[in-house]
């Protein structure tokens, strides 16, 4: 177990000052570098549930990040359930994918991927798509709820992974549909300026990187 005095200091200051500032204060107070490092390593490697005395407080921006992941999770769950409940999705996935090849905006290297990989195994990819969307949605919501109330490095890594998978799922949708990069077009004055797919793509990437670097 770590030194109780160090634990008490971290409990008191978690959420008030950054970890870097805490480490510097402890060094200035004469605590050995190795002992300080061991305490933080111990905190990162143990859950709040089994070690309530070293519970790390959640910061306001982490709650906002959790709210973003909850929203993304909701979108993915609805999308996945719609695909699963639609009896024609799996059977029609191949024809739908072939139809997308008629578009003019598809990135040419990805056109080859669709022709040589996705269409020959359309049924398999249909199941992968629908259950990946549902699974990622569920994980995002569960992990975000956990992250909303207390910080856990393991949960942050899980959220980073889930958002990264969501990024690639959305990138696949954009590439396969030939969706063009949003730009100024007065003809779209009565429509949203940016497609929701691009919004989710950028938010998922931002969230994945943010959670990976969250300490």
Does the pLDDT value for residue 53 go beyond 50?
no
17 and 75 in a single domain? The answer is no
Strand partners, 17: 14
11 and 67 in a single domain? The answer is no
34 and 127 in a single domain? The answer is no
Phi-psi region of 15 (alpha: psi -120 to 50; beta: other; left: phi over 0): left
Give the model's pLDDT for residue 70.
94
Strand partners, 14: 17
71 and 165 in a single domain? The answer is yes
Does the pLDDT value for residue 185 go beyond 80?
no
Rounded CA separation 138/147 (Å): 14
Give the model's pLDDT for residue 182.
73
14 and 81 in a single domain? The answer is no
Q: What domain range is 18 assigned to?
A: 4-54
39 and 83 in a single domain? The answer is no
Of 196 and 130, more confident: 130
77 and 160 in a single domain? The answer is yes
12 and 48 in a single domain? The answer is yes
Give the model's pLDDT for residue 36.
73
pLDDT in tens, 76-117: 999 999 999 998 999 999 888 887 776 556 777 788 888 888
Location of structure tokens 């139809």: 99
Q: How many independent structural domains does the chain possess?
A: 2
Rounded CA separation 14/5 (Å): 14
Rounded CA separation 201/197 (Å): 6
Last residue of a domain, one of 54, 77, 95: 54
50 and 92 in a single domain? The answer is no
Average pLDDT (170-197) is: 78
36 and 72 in a single domain? The answer is no
pLDDT in tens, 116-161: 888 899 999 999 999 999 999 999 999 999 888 877 888 889 999 9
Does the pLDDT value for residue 49 go beyond 60?
no
Give this prediction's pTM. Answer: 0.68
DSSP per residue, 34-82: HHHHHHHHHHHHS-TTT-GGGPPPPPHHHHHHHHHHHHHHHHHHHHHHH
Average pLDDT (54-60) is: 61
116 and 203 in a single domain? The answer is yes
22 and 92 in a single domain? The answer is no
Rounded CA separation 5/140 (Å): 36
Rounded CA separation 201/206 (Å): 9
């Amino acid at each position: 177990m770590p030194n109780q005095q160090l634990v008490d200091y971290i409990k008191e200051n978690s959420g008030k000052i950054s970890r870097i500032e805490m480490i510097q204060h402890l060094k200035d107070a004469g605590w050995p570098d190795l002992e300080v490092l061991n305490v933080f390593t111990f905190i990162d490697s143990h859950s709040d549930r089994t070690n309530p005395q070293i519970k790390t407080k959640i910061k306001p921006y982490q709650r906002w990040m959790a709210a973003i992941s909850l929203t993304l999770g909701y979108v993915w769950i609805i999308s996945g359930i719609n695909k699963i409940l639609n009896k024609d999705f799996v059977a029609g996935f191949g024809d739908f994918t072939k139809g997308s090849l008629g578009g003019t905006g598809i990135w040419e290297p990805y056109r080859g991927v669709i022709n040589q990989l996705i269409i020959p195994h359309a049924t398999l990819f249909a199941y992968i798509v629908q259950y990946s969307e549902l699974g990622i949605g569920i994980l995002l919501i569960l992990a975000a709820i956990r992250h909303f109330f207390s910080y856990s490095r393991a949960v942050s890594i899980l959220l980073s992974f889930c958002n990264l998978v969501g990024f690639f799922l959305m990138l696949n949708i954009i590439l396969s549909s030939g969706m063009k990069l949003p730009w100024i077009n007065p003809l779209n004055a009565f429509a949203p300026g940016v497609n929701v797919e691009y919004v989710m793509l950028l938010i998922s990437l931002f969230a994945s990187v943010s959670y990976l670097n969250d300490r």
